[in-house]
Structure 1
Amino acid sequence: MHVFIMVAGVFTGAQVWEETAARLVAAGSTVHAVPLTGVDPARSAHPGHVGLETHIEDVIAAIDAVDATSGQEIVLVGHDYGIHPVLGAADRRAERIARVVYLDCGMPQNGVPALAAVPDQVLRAQLAERAEAGEREGVLAPPGLDEWGRWGSTADLDEVTLKRLTDLAAPQPLGTLLEPLRLTGAVAAVPVSGVLCARNGASIDLVQRLVDFGDPALAALTEPQVSFFELPTGHWPMLSGPAALADVLLRAAAGEGHRLRPAGDGAPAPAHLRPFPLDVPELPRDRQGHVDLYVPDGDGPRPAVVFVHGGPVPAGARPSPREWPALVGYARLAAAEGMIGATLDHRLHDLSDYDRAAADIAAGVELVRADARVDADRIALWFFSGGGLLTTDWLARPPAWLRCLAASYPVLAPLPAWGLAGSRFHPARAVEQAGPLPVVLLRAGREAPEIAATVDAFVTAADDCAAQLELIDVPNGFHGFETLNAPEETIPALRQAMRSVVTHLTR
């Protein structure tokens, strides 16, 4: 027998759990949806008296109300902001908790307030300014009907359900977002499950890729007591798919779920460290700052192709992206075509780093152009994966020396959970300003749906403005197809794309 104690996210109270709770009860479980002070009508309070600690006490009270001698196992479920009070309570009652379920949320750390998890970066900065100005006792108004997308994907919420979410929403006391979470470390011993909502931009495959980069901070996710589930819906699964969510919660409580593969230790090579599928000349690298050049023999100057990795990639990832086999393979392939191939590192370590990464790329391109072996008037840029958002500046203001822009399996609009809706990084909006700039787009046929949707939007926008777009499809290609698919499925597309880029550089 399990007791599910469920804590809702920002602006939402206990009522959002009604359908999910009913299904859990029908399956024989006990459910307590915790009414949060200052948010739920059942527990009204002056906002100035409500902080994260208040909500932690609300959850502790629900835990303590469960008879410790009943033999029932307590499973704490935290959605969105709700994971903060859940962890705070679990840390103080670790011996009572059988499992913590992270429902489409981040991984809060000791000493960090929930403000750090607010997805919209513009709004997060505004709240930080309010806090610095001493405004800590007010409230944050709930989103209007058309504003929920700033807080997560509304995928699969019909108009009636979205209106219900809006009608139930309540102001969020600022103190709950600004007060740091304090943990002793006791909660680290409690088994955990993560439930990822794919249409909000998270997936098990994505988390595995992050682990494969070797970031020590993520190593704990590969422990045997950690499991993962994935739901093909948006950020509010208790409303968009309560039956599926209830099933996942029951399975999590039973200790089921997907286990992540540890990085290294005899595990198969991760995708980013597998060999490039084409035989290319073993040219040495010539390191120039944060750029590596691969220069063919012969006289110059020559056109150059600069390859821009995706991300985010943890700061401590080794080898760094410019040394990954696929990126080096692309650069050497360009050299085999008589071009200078260049790879670079940029500091896209977090979703908040796109501005910094854009500056790193611009500086790296100038390093390439300044090299005497390079024809500074004939440059192509080639972007990958999450680096696709970084095409924006080059599409919006293409310099005369930029002869071609290419992208492989790119993300071409911010995903809902990335918090970049108010940023400048929207390639689909920028393409109308690209003018005659040739764009070569390699499209993965088996791309994740949420990424594929951004590519479709870009292609539509490019068609609408008659942009010079060439599409090259890899019908069975996965995201990162160079090292994931069989060579015979990818090599024709790679050769075609490189020939197109070289043609644009040599006209």
Structure 2
Amino acid sequence: MTHFVLVAGARLGASAWDEVADGLRAAGHQPHPLTLSGLAEKRGVPVGRQTHVRDVVDEVERLDLREVVLVGHSYAGVPVGQAAERIGERLARVVFVDSSVPVDGESFLSGWPSDHVRKQIEENDGYWPPAGADHYADQGLTDEQIARIIQSSSPHPGATLTEPAVLTRPLGELPATYIKCLLDDEEPMPVVAELLKSEHWELVEMDTGHWPMFSQPVELARILAEVGAAS
């Protein structure tokens, strides 16, 4: 049995993993979906610098997890990647699900045109507001799945999107799997492509869009279970 800490991307909480968690349990593993501070049922919880990194580390330590697989989707790859190096020998593997990865001194919004996001945060009292249905088009999602994402979304604390990551060792030294969702973009972003040259990293592709926990939860659970079994 492998323990998985599952962290969804911006605006989403633990409920995004409901179907994936069911699949992991059916395969004999133990999932621990985690809602980050300030989101979903944790709205109103104060969020400062490195809060989301501490959320992940604290969950691993609170549950006293060993040989744990950390899973970060989209934005969550940034705090999960930082947490992975901080939990030390507790880590079995980190899985990045079509996600950004932390780069020391850079934020989630670094490296891509983000002026519109920064403006939205400024205009919405420091929060990135939930997206409309158009944002999820052409990503392999049904109308029902899109409605579920929108219903479960909440404003995202902007400070976590603009704070610089802090790494103490090269990310390529960590045992990692990167899951690339091909409808989002056929090629990994350059920083990920460079990391995939490491002998410690592997690439897995999914023929779906950026939210596979909604569009292909059974397949994502299968991939994660295989990662866990091999870790």
> Does the TM-score normalized on the shorter chain lie above 0.5?
yes
Give 3-state SS (helix, strand or coil) of 1:106's partner.
coil
Amino acid paired to 2:87: R
Paired residue for 2:214? 239
Cα-to-partner distance string for 1:272-328 (whole Å, 9 max, x where unaligned): xxxxxxxxxxxxxxxxxxxxxxxxxxxxxxxxxxxxxxxxxxxxxxxxxxxxxxxxx
Pairing partner for 2:115 from 105, 114, 125: 125
Within a 5 Å distance, the mapping from 1:188-337 to structure 2 comes to 188-202=172-186, 206=187, 218-255=193-230
Q: What residue is the counterpart of 1:163 in the other structure?
A: 147
What is the Cα deviation at residue 241 of structure 1? 0.5
Q: Does 1:55 align with 2:30?
A: no
What corresponds to 2:33 in structure 1?
33
* Equivalenced residues, count: 230
Q: 1:9 to 1:52 in 2, by over 3 A?
A: farther
Equivalent residue of 1:147, what SS? helix
Structure 1 segment 182-193 matched on structure 2, within 5 A? 182-185=166-169, 188-193=172-177
Distance 1:127 1:145, change over 3 A: closer
**CA–CA distance in 2 between the matches of 1:223 and 1:186?**
10
Corresponding position of 2:23: 23
Helix, strand or coil at the partner of 1:250: helix
Cross-structure match for 1:4 = 4
1:52 Cα deviation from its structure 2 partner: 5.2
Identity of aligned residues (%): 33
Partner of 2:128: 140
Q: Against the structure 1 CA distance between its residues 160 and 196, is the aligned structure 2 distance closer, same or farther, given a 3 Å change threshold?
A: same
Shift of the 162–128 alpha-carbon distance from structure 1 to 2, 3 Å rule, reads closer
SS of alignment partner, residue 227 of structure 1:
strand
Equivalent residue number for residue 43 of structure 2: 44
| Partner Cα distance (2:78, 2:99) in 1 | 10
* Secondary structure class of the residue paired with 2:159: helix
Secondary structure of 2:37's aligned partner: coil
Assess if the C-alpha contact under 8 Å between 2:171 and 2:195 holds in 1.
no
Cα distance, 1:89 vs structure 2: 1.2
Shift of 1:96: 1.2
CA distance in 2, matches of 1:195, 1:51: 29
Q: Could you give the per-residue CA deviations for residues 409-462 of structure 1, whole angstroms, max 9, x where no partner exists?
A: xxxxxxxxxxxxxxxxxxxxxxxxxxxxxxxxxxxxxxxxxxxxxxxxxxxxxx
Which residue of the other structure, out of 160, 166, 169, is the alignment partner of 1:176? 160
Return the alpha-carbon distance in structure 2 between the equivalents of residues 103 and 20 of structure 1: 13
Residue 220 of structure 1, CA deviation: 4.1
Report if aligned partners of 1:155, 1:233 keep a CA contact under 8 Å in 2: yes
* SS of 2:23 mapped into structure 1: helix
Q: Which amino acid aligns with 2:79?
A: P
Higher relative contact order structure (alpha carbons within 8 Å, sequence separation ≥ 6) = 2
Distance 1:168 1:236, change over 3 A: same
Give the superposition deviation at 1:40: 2.1
TM-aligned CA distance change 1:51 to 1:117, over 3 Å: farther
Instruction: Describe the shift of the 1:166–1:136 C-alpha distance in structure 2 as closer, same or farther (beyond 3 A).
Output: closer
For 1:24 and 1:130, the matched residues in 2 are separated by 36
Task: Output the CA distance in 1 between the equivalents of 2:51 and 2:82.
Answer: 11
Structure 2 counterpart of 1:74, one-letter code:
V
Match of 1:93 among 87, 91, 95: 87
Tell me, in whole angstroms, the C-alpha distance in 1 between the residues paired with 2:145 and 2:199.
37
Q: Distance in 2 between matches of 1:126 and 1:139?
A: 13
Q: CA deviation at 1:251?
A: 1.8
Q: Shift of the alpha carbon at 1:100? A: 0.6
Q: Give the drift of 1:179.
A: 0.9
Gaps of 5+ in 1: 257-507
* Structure-2 residue corresponding to 1:456: none
How many angstroms does 1:166 deviate by?
Answer: 0.6
State the distance in 2 between where 1:114 and 1:220 align: 17
TM-superposed deviation, 1:146: 2.4
Q: Find the aligned partners of 1:28 and 1:145 in 2 and give their Cα distance.
A: 35
Question: What CA distance in whole angstroms lies between the structure 2 residues aligned with 1:20 and 1:63?
Answer: 19
The 8 Å contact of residues 136 and 175 in structure 1, kept in 2 or not, is answered as no
Q: Structure 1: which 4+ aligned runs deviate by more than 6 Å?
A: none
> Does 2:64 correspond to 1:67?
yes
RMSD: 2.5
Q: 1:155 to 1:136 in 2, by over 3 A?
A: closer
Q: In the aligned structure 1, how far is the partner of 2:168 from the partner of 2:130?
A: 32
Q: Which residue of 1 aligns with 2:100?
A: 106
